[in-house]
Amino acid sequence: MSYSEPRTLFEKIWSRHEILTRDDGVSLLSIDRHLCHEGSFHAFDKLKMENRTVRCPELTVAIADHYVSTSFPEKGNEVEALRVPIEKLEINSKDAGIRLYGVGSKEQGIVHVVGPEQGLTIPGITLVCGDSHTATHGAFGCLAFGIGASEVAHVLATQTLWQTKPKTMRININGSLLDGVVAKDIILHLISVVGANGASGHMIEYAGSTIRNLSMEGRMTICNMSIEAGGRAGMVEPDQKTFDYLKGRKHAPKLKDWDLAIKDWKTLATEPGAIFDKEVTVDAGEIAPSLTWGNSPEETLPVTGYIPSPEDEADISKRETLEGTLEYMGLTPGQKLTDIAIDRVFIGSCTNSRIEDLRSAARIAQGKKALVPAIIVPGSTLIKKQAEAEGLDKLFIDAGFEWRSTGCSMCVGMNGDITPPGERCASTSNRNFKGRQGPGSRTHLMSPAMAAAAAITGRVTDARDFS
Amino acid sequence: MEAFRKLTATAAPIQIANIDTDQIIPARFLKTPRSTDHGQFLFHDMRRGRDGNLSEDFILNQKEFKASGILVADNNFGCGSSRESAVYALHDAGIKCVIAPSFGDIFYTNSLKNGLLPIKLDRSIVQAIWKALASANSSEVEVDLESQTMNMAEAIRKRPQSVIETTKDQVTPSDKKKKMKYSDFIRSKQPTVPAKELNESLETTLSKIRRMYRNGKLMTFREWAEEFGEILDALG
């Protein structure tokens, strides 16, 4: 096949997987990897009701994370009602012959951390999971997106999925980052620029020198929060860093296959002159250490900022929403962000729980004492082990942090780890929605270093003051 | 999934942007099997005050709107988590249609899989519907899928969904006498940029962009938004 038009990374992957297109423009895609978690029980129930079986169990991997207790992981969860979904996943995987990284397995962890870690995530593939943060895997140059239970059932039954081809958006970030600015700051800033639904209907490609200079961990943090800008998928073109990360991973191609894979992966990058439906360009130098103050991830400001005033909002509906947000968050217009007192700290989640994140929090915590309760939840059992080998567990414990086991923990508020009503949490997770971390919880999203700094001072803190 | 061709139901305005699926159904209810009535979980925390009691401030708790079948929401309705239980909760509570300027992509797809109709309309039109609902005697709205029209007691008549931008002025001739043209209705409610002027300013904008690209100048998004934000606003 020859193509005259320069093509994007996304278009190349899409066309490789497009089986047919309906008259209404909707395409049937073949799916290379399907990751399941406890929440997938709805889809398995549906399958049973319709008397269907799993078409390709070998392309499906089940991982327990959402309901797993980070305090008593060996039991799954100490609360019986929360153990049920974990047990359902175990039964459904066993019945269908699906590989399970469940409770007690050395590979277990957060699905979006485990996928890349085990080499299940590789460039050029289509990867789906019944979870909106599936875009994380796009950091490896694959097309990865979150789906609902009906679609999970469809993939289980057919290993295909009907999809409308999304539009494309390229976000270019060039230049050097200011000191103390990390991937989390970049993505929070981008969401505030693009808006919480600015990329709705689009897949995002993150490009430019700043992205190229990021580690794989940093790229994953950025792709992870694509959905918070409305984009179902986010991706970065694969390069040597991608290949180096994947080489030798459990499920990554081996020997001759590896050489062939590399050869193919090198052809995936977006070609010069390829056209995107939307282009956004951001100068890396504009980005400051940032955090969210409201209940939408677009409500982000530099740590040096102040709470906005509803009086400045002309649109009545928006003004009322803002008033509601400030009331819920217990904040006053004009308040300095660094004056906000924090009640507890959560460092973890599929956004920021990888070894690099833990190291960066550790650099802040070293030799200090946390003023407020703070928990560290590594993204996987392997990351936990690695951190312990580096002595990070001891460092955190000495600094008054709790060293927990892996899982979704306080990001998702459904496994027992919550922020109590009215309390304010400095969190490295991805959503500051009302009640996300538990009913009445107040969330401020920030980087691991900023969250660790907040634990030490008991208020929102510019981590640069610690260096 | 129950199909409908014509839906006549009470429409409740919910003028809050970015209502995420965590607010539609909090995470602690997601372990519930589909066979359980999910309607009881709909907006569970949003409709309750700090004391845990139902709050009169929340529209679906008000007598007139308790049996609503349609929601008229703001930008980005159903954003966030992919939980299909959000759609189960709306469906089981009798909501068959949500009208909003934009939706979370995954929620939109999940809706269609469960017989919940998501209708995207320009925000200016959604605002007009809010206003009309506030001033009308009845909150009853009719959505006709076959003709792709929506009717409100006195005033609104139009083609919903994506065709709206190009067909705002279309009204079936037989309706002309008894119903105000939709475009007139909108104009009477709030000033909008006339189509011709909009096209002209769009042309100017586009040529400006082309010129900049020719000169090799790339704008940051912020510059771009400052330059062209007004036109984007007019386009909704």
How far apart CA A12 and CA A19 sit, in angstroms, is 14
Whether A282 and B221 have beta carbons less than 8 Å apart is answered as yes
Would you say residue A210 lies in a domain?
Answer: yes
Min Cα–Cα distance to chain B from A375, Å: 21
Closest B-chain CA to A131: B82
Residues A167 and A219 in one domain: yes
Which residues have a Cβ under 8 Å from the Cβ of B162 and sit 6 or more positions away? B120
Kindly report, residue by residue over A60-78, the tens digit of the pLDDT.
999 999 999 999 999 999 9
The last residue of a domain, from among A224, A251, A278 = A278
Q: Which of B1, B103, B161, B221 to mutate to test the interface with A (most CBs of A within 10 A)?
A: B221
Which residues have a Cβ under 8 Å from the Cβ of A226 and sit 6 or more positions away? A135, A138, A199, A204, A232, A233, A234
Which residues have a Cβ under 8 Å from the Cβ of A465 and sit 6 or more positions away? A453
Which residue in A286, A317, A439 is closest to B45 by CB distance?
Answer: A439
For chain B, the residue count is: 236
**What's the structural domain count of chain A?**
2
How far apart CA B181 and CA B14 sit, in angstroms, is 25
Report the relative pairing of strands B6-14 and B140-144 from DSSP bridges: antiparallel
Query: pLDDT category, A257, cuts 50, 70, 90?
Result: very high
Q: What is the pLDDT of residue A32?
A: 98
How far apart CA A418 and CA A98 sit, in angstroms, is 31
Would you say residue A284 lies in a domain?
Answer: no
Q: What is the pLDDT of residue B210?
A: 55
Q: What is the pLDDT of residue A87?
A: 97
Residues A356 and A449 in one domain: yes
Find the CATH number of the domain harbouring A267: 3.30.499.10
Would you say residue A353 lies in a domain?
Answer: yes
Would you say residue A373 lies in a domain?
Answer: yes
The last residue of a domain, from among A223, A249, A278 = A278
Residues A47 and A188 in one domain: yes
ipTM entry: 0.96
Give the range among A119-128, A265-274, A310-319 with minimum mean pLDDT. Answer: A310-319
User: Which residues in chain B are contacts of A413 at CB distance < 8 A?
Assistant: 26-28
Q: What is the pLDDT of residue B223?
A: 52
How far apart CA B214 and CA B212 sit, in angstroms, is 5
Residues A317 and A200 in one domain: no
Q: Does the pLDDT of residue A50 top 90, yes or no?
A: yes
Q: Does the pLDDT of residue A81 top 90, yes or no?
A: yes
Would you say residue A119 lies in a domain?
Answer: yes
Kindly report, residue by residue over A408-465, the tens digit of the pLDDT.
999 999 999 999 999 999 999 999 999 999 999 999 999 999 999 999 999 999 999 9
SS3 A73: helix
Whether A26 and A164 have beta carbons less than 8 Å apart is answered as yes
C-beta atoms of A413 and B50 within 8 A? no
Residues A253 and A363 in one domain: no
Single-letter residue type at A98:
I
Q: What is the pLDDT of residue B160?
A: 41
User: Which residues in chain B are contacts of A231 at CB distance < 8 A?
Assistant: 105
Query: pLDDT category, A284, cuts 50, 70, 90?
Result: very high
How far apart CA B113 and CA B205 sit, in angstroms, is 40
Residues A299 and A410 in one domain: yes
User: Which residues in chain A are contacts of B74 at CB distance < 8 A?
Assistant: 317, 321
Q: What one-character DSSP code corresponds to residue A82?
A: H
SS3 A374: strand
SS (H, E, C) A203-263: EEEEECHHHHCCCHHHHHHHHHHHHHHCCCEEECCCCHHHHHHHCCCCCCCCHHHHHHHHH
Nearest to B186 by CA among B119, B129, B121: B129
Query: pLDDT category, A95, cuts 50, 70, 90?
Result: very high
Per-residue pLDDT of chain B (236 residues), as tens digits, is 677 889 999 999 999 999 999 999 999 999 999 999 999 999 999 999 888 899 999 999 999 999 999 999 999 999 999 999 999 999 999 999 999 999 999 999 999 999 999 999 999 999 999 988 888 778 899 999 888 888 876 444 443 433 333 333 333 333 333 344 444 444 444 334 445 555 555 556 556 555 554 454 444 445 555 555 555 555 44
Would you say residue A316 lies in a domain?
Answer: yes
Residues A207 and A309 in one domain: no
Would you say residue A4 lies in a domain?
Answer: no
Residues A38 and A137 in one domain: yes
Residues A337 and A389 in one domain: yes
Residue A250's alpha-carbon distances to A143, A332, A455, B51, B129, in angstroms, are 21, 51, 36, 51, 56
C-beta atoms of A434 and B46 within 8 A? yes
Nearest to A164 by CA among A200, A113, A206: A200
Domain span including residue A192: 9-278
Residues A419 and A323 in one domain: yes
B6 membership: H or E segment, kind and range = strand B6-14
The last residue of a domain, from among A278, A306, A336 = A278
Q: Does the pLDDT of residue A316 top 90, yes or no?
A: no
Q: What is the pLDDT of residue B82?
A: 97
How far apart CA B58 and CA A230 sit, in angstroms, is 26
In DSSP notation, A25-52 reads: SEEEEE-SEEEE-GGGHHHHHHHHHTT-
- B104 interfacial to chain A (CB closer than 8 Å): yes
Kindly report, residue by residue over A129-165, the tens digit of the pLDDT.
999 999 999 999 999 999 999 999 999 999 999 999 9
User: Which residues in chain A are contacts of B33 at CB distance < 8 A?
Assistant: 41-42, 45
Q: What one-character DSSP code corresponds to residue A178?
A: P
Would you say residue A453 lies in a domain?
Answer: yes
Residues A69 and A209 in one domain: yes
Greatest CA span in chain B, whole angstroms?
A: 62
SS (H, E, C) B33-59: CCCCCCHHHCCCCCCECCCCCECCCCH
Residues A312 and A248 in one domain: no
Closest A-chain CA to B22: A436
